A and B are shown apart, each in its own frame.
Chain A
Amino acid sequence: MKSSEYAAGSLLTVANLSVEDVAAILAATDRLERMAAAERARILAGRRIALLFYESSTRTRTSFELAAKSLGAMTTLVSDKSSSIEKGESLKDTGLTLRALGAECIVLRHANSGAPYLLAKATGLPVLNAGDGMHEHPSQALLDLRTMLARLSGVGGRLVNGKTLDGVTVVITGDILHSRVARSNAMLLPRLGAKVVLCGPKELLPEDALGLGVHGASGCVVIERDFDKALKQAQVVMMLRIQRERLAGLELDLGDYISRYQLDEERLAARSPEALVMHPGPMIRGLEIAGEVADGPNSAIEDQVRHGLAVRTALLVRALGVGGFESVTV
């Protein structure tokens, strides 16, 4: 890793985060959450954060924006929907323009995998990856982790280290191939001791996914095609959206998929009645997940959104090198 090429406080991938970094981010999240709103609003008062969104994403964009505003920062949204991204201008030049206009940090959502690396290298600014192509969504993995720590019984009090999720099996089911959420979670959670079971049909989950397994981690990444078998082991089951637009060309029968991989009440009750149910959203009720499960007592879906806002305040504070992150390294 040539991490030195990127500004401290950047978050491009979970792979560059040490377990200590994760612990520090989660501790800062707790601190910020306990703070009075007025005090929190002074932390980034007057600082400038650019939200550069080449792909629409209501949830992630709003979450970052509200997080920045709660810290008192000024935000500007540059999106390909507005006319503010000059047609044909390179990502590098757009980044340099934002920097010249005073942006101190860029939150980037981009349709191309790896785009945040390019932007971070070109601008020297801290860049937060808000989802890049089929690659990663690191802030999502951190908010998912915080959700698990808050909701899983017996885990909450543990120190955040390589054993925090010992004995926890997280089943991630669905379109793993196209999912940046799956990649980030499968790379992050095993480093904290979790077993990650990837589940889905071959078309959406090639064997190459095993390459996400991290060497030297106490946790591991495995593939299980049979959802029922996977579910039996699960303390957490994370369902992924079936991206219909990406199914073109794949030989996948939706009806068959639903019968084999949908998380419905009956399946959950029979296989893993205690499991925490998660979904990064947006979800399609009745496709990958039944509405009753999404709204049911096991569901942590709304918690995830709340934790997302909290974790992102910490990531922004870290990006700008304040609030205990003054000497942060990536």
Chain B
Amino acid sequence: MSDILILNGRVVDPSSGLDAERDVLLRHGRVAAVEMPGALRVAKAKETIDAKGMIVAPGLVDVHVHLREPGQTYKESIKTGTAAAAAGGFTSVVAMPNTVPVNDTVARLEWMLDAARGACVKLFAMPAATFGSLGEEITDFHQLQRAGAVGFTDDGKPVLVDRVMRAALVAAAGIGVPVSQHAEDTRLTGGCSMNAGPVAFRLGLRGMTVEAESKIVERDVRLLKDIEQHDGLRPHLHVQHVSTAKAMEAIRQAKREGLHVTCEVAPHHFTLTDEAIGEYDTNAKMNPPLRNDADRLAMIAGLMDGTVDCIATDHAPHALFEKEQEFERAPNGITGLETALGLALRVLHKGQGMSISRVIELMSAHPARVVSLDGRGTLRVDSFADVVVFDPAAEWNFEAVKSRSKSRNTPFDGAPMLGRVVATISEGTLVYRG
């Protein structure tokens, strides 16, 4: 690993409260020095990046991506998915377990994390909370954690049975990792393909109610309290892709009560509403679905007031032929790794006045903390040399055709973005150059 010197940039590192012009030296895959401009001029580096006018930040961390390998590499592979991550400024991604087969054993987890898969940024994984993600019997959390699991989830589905979810929370609490929950009461959403409301009525589509999401969050919070009371443990619930004001309020309340609850919001949920479905555009079909504007604004409020811990993409690639189906039959999900920063800066920074430092915190330091990635999401000396350099003023339009992902299923094709990634460095290696 050769040295990289990043000169003249505005270093924004929320983990150390730094937002000032600094030069940064990366050496042996670590952050070697962060110094006043000019102080590192004498350092010899194989590569020098002039970051004048740019922001130099810790590499972004995404706790929620679908990389489709094993089993569905026609949609995406670990290699292409992490390439898309690098292009989006991400240096750490957490793969969800709904692969084929489901990632629910040590052997599968190790296979996935093996360097032979060709990940170009740091790959982490959350294996399934239950075998086959069937919601019946919890997997071997202990063994899986020793093999690298950073949390457990049945994402794509909820852990519906109270007893099973309780067991998962207890087991995870014992080893200090979160249970990440896809909050959807699937007993209430059968046959539904979008958000319930006037748009669904007009389009003649069955709609998912907001209660289908909030009820599971409320149930999980009850379980947390019960476990704290009766088991003397402090479980960590992470609520995935929150999309409704009701669930957001339940999380806010749980945090007030001092429970260990964290949550994420996806860029599409703070950017779009169900109107984006237009004339049955399956690129606007995802789960949880796009909601109404009040819910969208509640996501922004949660991001602004600190209820939301991090932004996560829920990057979910699908092949064109799968999305080119009747709306109700098309699979859920959109790609998101390459549009997350551009949307966050446009909607939250430019639109809502959120500081850039705070945007970065929500996309690096905080998500790294949610899954306890030591030495990531920070530019402190000795931490991993995971860095993103981006031009915060660049206004551009995303072009799906240029994506590094194998798939093109995004509602943001042609959409305006703010802030453009010019370099992504993962553990000291330049993995993307814009």
User: Contact residues of A with B, CB < 8 Å?
Assistant: 1-2, 12, 90-92, 110, 112-115, 117-118, 122, 132-136, 177, 180, 183, 187, 206, 208-212
Contacts and interface: CB of A to CB of B under 8 A. Distances in A.
Nearest to A112: B326
10 contacts: A2-B279, A90-B324, A113-B204, A114-B280, A114-B326, A118-B280, A133-B204, A209-B198, A210-B198, A211-B201
CB-CB nearest 9 A-B residue pairs: A211-B198, A135-B204, A114-B280, A134-B204, A112-B326, A113-B204, A208-B201, A208-B198, A114-B327
- Most B CB atoms within 10 A — which of A114, A115, A136, A206? A114
Contacts of B49: none
Nearest to A205: B201
Contact of A136 (B197, B200, B204, B278): B204
Interface in B214-273: none
B402 interface: no
Contacts of A122: 324
A210 B326 CA distance: 25
Contacts of B327: 112-114, 118
Given A114-B279, A211-B199, 19 more contacts: A91-B326, A92-B324, A110-B326, A112-B326, A112-B328, A113-B204, A113-B205, A113-B280, A114-B205, A134-B206, A135-B204, A183-B204, A206-B201, A209-B198, A209-B201, A210-B198, A211-B198, A211-B201, A212-B202
Contacts of A1: 278-279
Nearest to B278: A2
B202 A118 contact: no
A134 B279 contact: no
Contacts of A183: 202, 204
The main secondary structure of chain B at its interface with chain A is loop
A132 B329 CA distance: 14
Contacts of B206: 134
Contacts of A177: 201
Contacts of A117: 279-280
B203 A114 contact: yes
- Range, interface on chain B: 20 to 34
Contacts, number: 73
B204 A180 contact: yes
B321 A90 contact: yes
A262 B291 CA distance: 36
A122 B204 CA distance: 21
Contact of A212 (B201, B279, B321): B201
Contacts of A134: 204-206
Contacts of B205: 113-114, 133-135
Interface in B186-207: 196-207
Nearest to B202: A211
A118 B328 contact: no
B143 interface: no
A240 to B, nearest CB: 14
A187 B203 CA distance: 12
B203 A135 contact: yes
A210 B199 CA distance: 10
B203 A118 contact: no
A289 B280 CA distance: 34
- Most A CB atoms within 10 A — which of B197, B198, B201, B327? B201
B325 interface: yes
Nearest to A183: B204
Contact of B325 (A91, A136, A206, A212): A91
A136 to B, nearest CB: 7
- Most A CB atoms within 10 A — which of B196, B199, B326, B327? B326
- Most A CB atoms within 10 A — which of B204, B205, B325, B329? B204
Given A91-B326, A112-B327, A133-B204, A208 B197 contact: yes
Contacts of B204: 113-114, 132-136, 180, 183
A118 B325 contact: yes
Contacts of B203: 113-114, 135
Contacts of A118: 280, 324-327
Nearest to A16: B279
A24 B211 CA distance: 46
A133 B325 CA distance: 14
Contacts of A212: 198, 201-202
A129 to B, nearest CB: 11
Nearest to A5: B279
A208 B196 CA distance: 9
Given A2-B279, A118-B280, A208 B200 contact: yes
Contacts of A12: 279
A115 B329 CA distance: 10
A205 to B, nearest CB: 10
A133 B328 CA distance: 10
B312 to A, nearest CB: 29
B74 to A, nearest CB: 16
A90 to B, nearest CB: 6
Contacts of B279: 1-2, 12, 114, 117
Contacts of B328: 112-113, 133
A270 to B, nearest CB: 32
